[in-house]
Amino acid sequence: MKIIKLDSSVYNKISAGEVVERPASVVKELTENAIDAGATKIAIIVSNAGLDEIKVIDNGCGIDKEDLKTAFLPHATSKIRLAEDLTDIHTLGFRGEALPSIASVSMVEIKSKTPSAEVGNYLKLRGGEVTEEGIVGMNVGTEITVSNLFFNTPARLKFLKTPSGEFSDVKSAVLKLIFANPNISISLFNQNEKVYSSDGKGLGNAIKNIFPDEMWQNLLPLNYEKNGVTVTGYASRSTYFKMNRTYQISIVNGRVCENQSISSAITAVYQQYLMKRNYPVTVLSITLEPSKIDVNVHPTKAEVRFSDGNQVFSAVYHAIKNALESDIEQRRIQFDTIHDEAEQPLDMASRPLFDFPEEDVERESVPQKEFNFLPFQNDSSELEFREESEIERSVVDNFKKIQEKKKEEQTELPQTQAMYRVIGQVFGTYLLIEFNDRFIIVDQHAAVERMRYDKLLAAYQNGNIPVQPLLYPLTIEVNPSEYQIVESKIPALKELGIELVPFGADSFKLASIPQILSQVDINVLIKHILSDRPEKEDAIIRERIAYAACRSSIKGNTYLTDDQIDELMKGYFKDGLPVQCPHGRPAYFVYTKRDLETLFKRIV
């Protein structure tokens, strides 16, 4: 078959397929043009989810009369001049593809006026061809209307979603544009009904205006800078999550985009807090030198590439990590700092909650376990369990014994410690605690597990966990590029207790590892070492510490003696009650007196 040059009407439609996939694509491209024009207010109006009409109105700088037609020519742009400009891009658009691509598959009317012009000018186009032009009275800025999208490419219509599905994509696109440009007022209307509206007064206000209050209350502010990479924005608390990644938005130099370094950092930092298939909420704004970003790697500029992905990964990781750790520490229930809230300390020897006649109580035999319980020492040895002889214990007997012991020891407790009262234990797993005006249900395993994890991690980070030399050092063979990666990581790995020694031109000897990694598959460890991010080794070490903390903590379905419960409470009193276990499960739930009174309809 003979090779021919395609007609412009054909290749414009092919090009449009890359840029204009659906109504949301049109909304994104037109709004980004308005942003590049310096607009401070942008209104987006769609009809039938944009399938019938899309209108974008802005108060930007406008387009001169002589440039109106040029704007619809392929690869016509005011944003770059030379190939070198591609390495230092400061605008959202730069290819000159959006307007001609949109015009080639729709009917377009554009009106625009510059500050120096007395009147505005307009053009009408059908399938990319100008059908009408003239002057129009209007304010400074641009108004562009796109109607009958894909009227001349009916095959494209078959692959669109339902109107509700397409409008969902439009909303998602506008939402991201609002967050990426928090200082611009952007509004979305559907059939003249307002859907979204931002006031242009910052990212916090934009999120509050759009996200549910409950979500906003669970977001933490971020502010971190290192090696020329600045990370601001918001990330959800360790206990708040969604069932998908819909609420993870990454903005790089004002551009909403995707990047593996960013998403990997988010996953790495939350993996010790959230259970599988639970995803955090993040709105990250990342700023760095434009010359360190390549935005020209995807037709729709949806992805970016960094010259040094490790720096971006590290900045995102530590920005979120610092915020989470600070929040978790603040949210620990501190039994020694809130005692002034109550007028008087609770009576540790107050009467039992239930006052049944003893003969009416049906006693039930419950096997008990006794163990050497030292949860707050640095020793990480396993707990030793032994069966105690069978003892019949009724609910009333248990309450009486607890209250009698508390009465005997009351004078020995510090005033602040008398602020809580242990009501008892249920199902061998949960402790019930009264504290000031709160009722706390504690998962005994999760709480102790987190405490042990924090202590083991602190000991490890302080170099107090022993390193285990390998009896037979393992040889790791690498290629030249991997050799450079590993060689650059030797000092950081040594701080983690992983000792690597160069062995020839293409291999290393793994001489020692932290004792806590002794049961780790060495091949998995090597895989992480060969990765280009030091946080990977840190993650696997944290995982093993979490495993050790879990194995050495009191288990669920373990009935405790009064002394053992007291030992637990001393730990809680000393260190505060942690928010969650290392695997993301909550360690406690709190109900106020008012919550209970509302539940039982004592108050309305």
pLDDT of residue 302: 66
Cα separation, 75 vs 91, whole angstroms: 15
Beta partners for residue 391, in sequence order:
366
Any idea which residue has 């720096």 for tokens? Answer: 311
| CA diameter of the chain | 103
Q: Is the dihedral of CA 582, 584, 588, 592 positive or negative?
A: positive
Cα separation, 187 vs 184, whole angstroms: 10
pLDDT of residue 538: 64
pLDDT of residue 566: 78
Low-confidence ranges of the chain (pLDDT < 70): 1-19, 74-96, 295-302, 333-419, 465, 496, 516-541, 544, 547-548, 551-552, 573
pLDDT of residue 556: 77
The CATH number given to 8-197 is 3.30.565.10
Helix axes 309-331, 260-270, angle to 10 degrees: 30
**Are the C-beta atoms of residues 540 and 528 closer than 8 Å to each other?**
yes
Q: Is the pTM of this model over 0.85?
A: no
Phi, psi of 136, deg, nearest 5: -155, 145
The CATH number given to 467-543 is 3.30.1370.100
CB atoms within 10 A of CB 275: 12
305: three-class secondary structure by DSSP: strand
- Which residue type occupies 449? E
- Could you give the C-alpha distances from 365 to 392, 393, 424, 557, in angstroms and in order? 4, 6, 17, 15
Identify the DSSP state of 391.
E
Q: For strand 385-387 and strand 369-371, is the pairing parallel, antiparallel, or unpaired?
A: antiparallel
- Could you give the C-alpha distances from 18 to 48, 175, 380, in angstroms and in order? 23, 22, 58
**Are the C-beta atoms of residues 325 and 220 closer than 8 Å to each other?**
no
Q: What is the pLDDT of residues 257-297, one digit of tens each?
A: 888 889 989 998 898 788 778 899 999 999 998 888 876 56
Tokens standing for residue 322? 């610092």
Beta partners for residue 249, in sequence order:
283
Three-class secondary structure assignment of 127-182: CCEEEEEEEECCCCEEEEEEECCCCCCHHHHCCCCCHHHHHHHHHHHHHHHHHHCC
Helix axes 309-331, 535-551, angle to 10 degrees: 30
**Are the C-beta atoms of residues 210 and 192 closer than 8 Å to each other?**
no
Phi, psi of 470, deg, nearest 5: -80, 130
Outline where 410-561 has alpha helix (H): 444-461, 480-495, 522-530, 535-551
Q: For strand 107-113 and strand 185-190, is the pairing parallel, antiparallel, or unpaired?
A: unpaired
Determine the length of the chain: 604
pLDDT of residue 6: 53
* Nearest one of 54, 52, 80 to 296, comparing CA atoms: 80
521: three-class secondary structure by DSSP: coil
Write down the domain spans for the chain: 8-197, 211-331, 341-455+552-599, 467-543
Q: What is the pLDDT of residues 184-243, one digit of tens each?
A: 999 999 988 999 999 999 999 999 988 989 999 999 999 999 999 999 999 999 888 898
Confirm or reject CATH 3.30.70.260 for domain 211-331, answering yes or no. no
Phi, psi of 255, deg, nearest 5: -115, 125
Fold assignment, 341-455+552-599: formyl-coa transferase, domain 3 (3.30.1540)
